[in-house]
Amino acid sequence: MTKPISYVTISYIRKARGDFLDKLILGLLMMRRLTVYEIRGIIRHYFQSMCSDSLGSIRAAVNKLLSMEMITCSEYVERSVNKKQYSITDKGRRFFLDWTQTPADIALSKNMELGKFLFMGFVPASARLQLLSEIISGMEKTKADFKEMYSTINIAEGVAQGINYLESDLEYKDGIITSTQCTDIRQIANDIGEYQMLSLQYEIDTLNFQIEWFSKLKVKMEESQT
Q: Is the pLDDT of residue 65 over 50?
A: yes
Express each pLDDT in 103-128 by its tens digit.
Answer: 877 665 556 667 778 888 888 888 99
More confident residue, 128 or 5: 128
Residue 135's domain spans which residues?
Answer: 111-226
Residues 115 and 216 grouped into a single domain: yes
For the question of whether the overall pTM of this predicted structure is more than 0.85, the answer is no
98 and 122 both lie in a single domain: no
- Check whether 5 has a pLDDT greater than 60: no
**pLDDT for residue 208:** 97
CA distances (Å), 74 to each of 37, 110, 167, in order?
A: 15, 36, 20
Residues 56 and 86 in one domain: yes
Q: Give the CA distances from residue 6 to residues 13, 20, 111, in Å, rounded to whole numbers and listed in that order.
A: 11, 22, 17
Within this chain, do residues 80 and 183 fall inside the same structural domain, yes or no? Answer: no
Q: Which residue has the higher pLDDT, 51 or 12?
A: 51
Q: Are residue 32 and residue 84 in the same domain, yes or no? A: yes
Domain co-membership, 75 together with 130 = no
DSSP SS3 for 212: helix
Q: Which long-range contacts (CB under 8 A, 24 or more apart) does 155-161 make?
A: 155/193, 155/194, 155/197, 158/189, 158/193, 159/186, 159/189, 159/190, 159/193
Cα distance between the two ends of the chain: 37
Domain boundary (104, 138, 169) is at 104
Least confident of 55-59, 75-79, 180-184: 75-79
Predicted pLDDT at 110: 58
Number of domains the chain contains: 2
Which residue has better confidence, 225 or 182?
Answer: 182
Give backbone dihedrals phi and psi of 70, rounded to 5 degrees, phi first: -95, -20
Q: Tell me what pLDDT residue 2 has.
A: 37
128/64 same-domain check: no
Mean pLDDT is lowest, of 26-35, 54-63, 148-157, 205-214, for: 148-157
Checking if the pLDDT of 24 tops 60, the result is: yes
Average pLDDT over residues 10-15: 35
Spatial separation of the C-alpha atoms in residues 102 and 225, rounded to whole Å: 48
Indicate whether 69 and 151 sit together in one domain: no
Last residue of a domain, one of 70, 104, 138: 104
Q: How far apart are CA 187 and CA 217, in angstroms?
A: 45
Q: Are residues 122 and 213 in the same domain?
A: yes
Q: What percent of the chain has pLDDT over 90?
A: 62
Task: Check whether residue 144 and residue 95 sit in a common domain.
Answer: no
The pLDDT of residue 114 is 75
Q: Are residues 25 and 98 in the same domain?
A: yes
With beta carbons less than 8 A apart as the criterion, state whether 209 and 111 touch. Answer: no
The answer to whether 129 touches 108, Cβ cutoff 8 Å, is: no
Q: Judge whether residue 186 has pLDDT over 90.
A: yes
| pLDDT number for residue 16 | 42
Which one of 104, 136, 164 terminates a domain?
A: 104
Domain CATH number, residue 72: 1.10.10.10
Ranking 20-34, 39-53, 119-133 by mean pLDDT, the lowest is: 39-53
Q: Are residues 59 and 156 in the same domain?
A: no
Number of C-alpha atoms within 13 angstroms, CB side, residue 127?
Answer: 6
**Tens digit of each residue's pLDDT (9 = 90 or more) over 72-90:** 999 988 888 899 999 999 9
